């Protein structure tokens, strides 16, 4: 028994290491590999087919010049039917070499994006990372996002992945929760620097030594000193034993506060999903409404997002697609759980474990307001851009959100980056077994999001985003 427990803890530790690398957060190997170079699926809105180019004009071939009627003088020499002064024979009608008809450019896309280059970047990364499926959405200036998909959503059925498939975006949920909180700050319902005890009472933090001083600013800026439960071996051992049982926010807080501080309070950044889970509890305590109801009315509806949901109270019309745990996650799950035979896959020589073969109740609730959103990829860049441009919060609150704290690369629930000298806001998400990156560059009014149905991808999804950005910027003349 001791040996079994030790093995479980070891694999749980390896699981943590793998997740840290990837998140913020058929069985005989005969599965056909999907062509990663496939152009965006037909469901991708709009179609990624080449915009129709005019068929090469045959340049009205000049009618043959009629021989002029013979003049009286010319009739004397019947055999010479004088070719009017050697009217130069219309040089083998050099059918006006379609000089005006340049060859149609390959893969012309109605958006102006270089689809061939995007396909190549996707194919390159998917091959290196051995990825079954990948979806992408890009928008500029608030236009309807252009969506793309490559690969499959299910390794058993080989069903193509599409932009109409529901996915989990993990910690990209955090900036959404942050904006909901800040909208309440704008209304005077909350204050960033008031102790949480004013909203949740004196017993919310258990014996956590810094509990009385913790504020919303600490929670959303990751300076509480909390452990990241989503990476903790004990939490995964706990979860593996109850995958069919939801976990309540209060249980997550109890696990976190009982752990004790793992970083210096207030002066040290230590990423912790528990902070945004507690923020969700505060939303509920102050409004008297479920967090999903408040997030929908304060953020999702104003931004026109009809395909985005926060479980467990609200769910998409169909479940999220299958996703696959690889590498150390595969080994950890096979050690910590009873694995159904149908869950094992080998794709491109890599062993994967299907998340879909497990109960979903624990997985759907372990992130909640810190990492639980399920959505369509087309909603993600619209949502992410809208957090900064949609007028959902005041300019003052937006400044609070986007001002770096202890970590110069992080504000309140959002990453702050420099991309080629331009300010950018971003966030990643990792949840068994999806990996997401979302990005917004204000100067270009450019937003994009990408999700793969593997965790952890190696190399990380960020490598694809890094390759994609120059292509998009070049295509749209944003350089």
- Nearest of 323, 314, 351 to residue 431 by alpha carbon: 323
By mean pLDDT, which of 4-8, 151-155, 390-394 is the weakest?
Answer: 4-8
- Distance between CA atoms of 249 and 280, rounded to whole angstroms? 9
Q: What is the pLDDT of residues 226-256, one digit of tens each?
A: 999 988 888 988 998 999 999 999 999 999 9
Does the pLDDT value for residue 375 go beyond 60?
Answer: yes
First CA to last CA distance, the chain: 61
User: Rounded distance, CA 11 to CA 35, Å?
Assistant: 33
Q: What is the pLDDT of residues 339-348, one digit of tens each?
A: 999 999 999 9
- What pLDDT, on a 0 to 100 scale, did the predictor assign at position 98? 43
**Beta carbons of 349 and 28 less than 8 angstroms apart:** no
Q: What percent of the chain has pLDDT over 70?
A: 78
pLDDT confidence of 24, banded at 50, 70, 90? very low
- Cα–Cα dist 187/178, whole Å: 14
pLDDT in tens, 89-124: 444 444 444 454 454 455 578 999 999 999 999 999
C-alpha span between 343 and 360 (Å, rounded): 14
Beta bridge partners of residue 139, listed in sequence order: 447
Coil, strand, or helix at residue 81?
Answer: coil
Mean pLDDT, rounded, for 37-57: 35
- pTM value is 0.81
Flag whether pLDDT at 60 surpasses 80. Answer: no
Q: What is the mean pLDDT of residues 292-301?
A: 98
Beta strands in 265-395 (DSSP E): 324-326, 344-347, 350-354, 374-376
Rounded distance between C-alpha atoms, residue 153 and residue 134, angstroms: 9
Q: Is the pLDDT of residue 266 over 70?
A: yes
Mean pLDDT of the chain: 84
Q: What is the pLDDT of residues 297-319, one digit of tens each?
A: 999 999 999 999 999 999 999 99
Task: Report residue 479's pLDDT band, with 50, 70 and 90 as the boundaries.
Answer: confident
Q: Which residue has the higher pLDDT, 18 or 226?
A: 226
Residues 325 and 370: their CA atoms lie apart, in Å, by 21
pLDDT of residue 331: 83
Average pLDDT over residues 432-436: 96
pLDDT at residue number 106? 53
pLDDT confidence of 48, banded at 50, 70, 90?
very low
Residue 79 has, within 13 A of its CA and on its CB side, a CA count of 0
Residue 32 pLDDT: 33
Alpha-carbon gap, residue 111 to 148, rounded angstroms? 12
pLDDT greater than 50 at residue 333:
yes
What's the confidence (pLDDT) of residue 4? Answer: 44
pLDDT at 82 over 70: no
């Amino acid at each position: 028994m001791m040996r079994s427990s030790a093995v479980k803890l070891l694999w749980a530790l390896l699981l943590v290491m793998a997740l840290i690398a990837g998140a913020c957060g058929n069985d005989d190997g005969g599965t056909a590999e999907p062509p990663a170079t496939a152009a965006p699926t037909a469901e991708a809105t709009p179609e990624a087919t080449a915009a129709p180019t005019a068929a090469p004009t045959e340049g009205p071939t000049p009618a043959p010049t009629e021989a002029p009627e013979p003049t009286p003088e010319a009739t004397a020499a019947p055999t010479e039917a004088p070719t009017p002064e050697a009217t130069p024979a219309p040089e083998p009608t050099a059918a006006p070499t379609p000089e005006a008809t340049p060859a149609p450019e390959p893969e012309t896309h109605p958006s102006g994006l270089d689809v061939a280059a995007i396909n190549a970047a996707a194919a390159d990364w998917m091959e290196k990372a051995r990825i079954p499926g990948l979806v992408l959405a890009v928008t500029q200036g608030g236009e309807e996002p252009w969506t793309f998909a490559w690969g499959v959503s299910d390794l058993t059925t080989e069903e193509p992945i599409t932009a109409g498939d529901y996915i989990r975006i993990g910690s990209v949920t955090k900036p959404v929760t942050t904006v909901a909180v800040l909208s309440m700050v704008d209304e005077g319902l909350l204050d960033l620097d008031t102790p949480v005890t004013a909203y949740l009472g004196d017993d919310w933090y258990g014996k956590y030594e810094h509990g009385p001083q913790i504020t919303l600013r600490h929670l959303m800026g990751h300076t509480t000193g909390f452990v990241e439960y989503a990476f903790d071996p004990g939490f995964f051992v706990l979860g593996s034993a109850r995958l069919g049982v939801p976990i309540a926010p209060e249980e997550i807080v109890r696990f976190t506060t009982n752990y004790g501080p793992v970083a210096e309070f207030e002066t040290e950044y230590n990423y912790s999903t528990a902070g945004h889970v507690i923020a969700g509890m505060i939303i509920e305590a102050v409004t008297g409404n479920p967090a999903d109801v408040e997030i929908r009315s304060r953020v999702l509806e104003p931004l026109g997002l009809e395909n985005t949901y926060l479980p467990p109270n609200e769910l998409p019309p169909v479940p999220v697609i299958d996703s696959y745990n690889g590498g150390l996650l595969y080994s950890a799950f096979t050690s910590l759980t009873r694995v159904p035979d149908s869950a094992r896959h080998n794709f491109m020589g890599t062993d994967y474990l299907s998340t879909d073969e497990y109960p979903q109740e624990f997985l759907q609730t372990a992130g909640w307001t810190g990492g639980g959103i399920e959505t369509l990829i087309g909603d993600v860049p619209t949502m992410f851009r809208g957090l900064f441009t949609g007028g959902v919060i005041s300019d003052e609150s937006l400044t609070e959100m986007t001002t770096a704290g202890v970590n110069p690369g992080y504000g309140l629930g959002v990453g702050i980056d420099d991309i080629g000298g331009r300010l950018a806001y971003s966030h990643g998400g990792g949840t068994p077994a999806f990996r997401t990156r979302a990005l917004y560059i204000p100067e270009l009014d450019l937003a994009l999001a990408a999700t793969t149905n593997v965790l952890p991808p190696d190399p990380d999804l960020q490598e694809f985003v890094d390759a994609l950005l120059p292509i998009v910027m070049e295509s749209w003349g944003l350089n």
